[in-house]
Amino acid sequence: MDEMMRVLRPGGMIIIFETMGTGYETPNPPEFLKPYYDELVQEYGFSHKWIRTDYQFDNTLQAEQLTRFFFSDELADRVASRKLVQLPECAGVWWLQL
């Protein structure tokens, strides 16, 4: 954070994108990231919101294979059993302008 603040020009903006949960339609961030997210807002003064950034696949086989490769067997099994071609994803966006 110190380095970002050091190199940011006056009037510049820092934008941070982080996961808020893959496979969920509303935010469900990993527990280990919650303190970091809180610190961005409370200690550094970032504004924030969450957005949907769903994955769209060509077919269910592609959805299962890519989900298994990038995420987990558990999530891929859920994609396969529900025959999903769209995998919900939530992302957090934090920004700070100096």
Please write the tens of the pLDDT for every residue from 34-76.
999 999 999 999 999 999 999 999 999 999 999 999 999 999 9
Q: Using 50, 70 and 90 to split pLDDT, how confident is the model at 29? A: very high
pLDDT of residue 98: 87
What are the E-state strand segments in 1-98? 13-22, 47-52, 55-56, 86-87, 89-97
Mean pLDDT (the chain, rounded):
96
Q: Specify the amino acid at residue 66.
A: L
pLDDT of residue 31: 95
pLDDT of residue 4: 94
Cα 92–chain centre separation:
5
Domain spans of the chain? 57-98
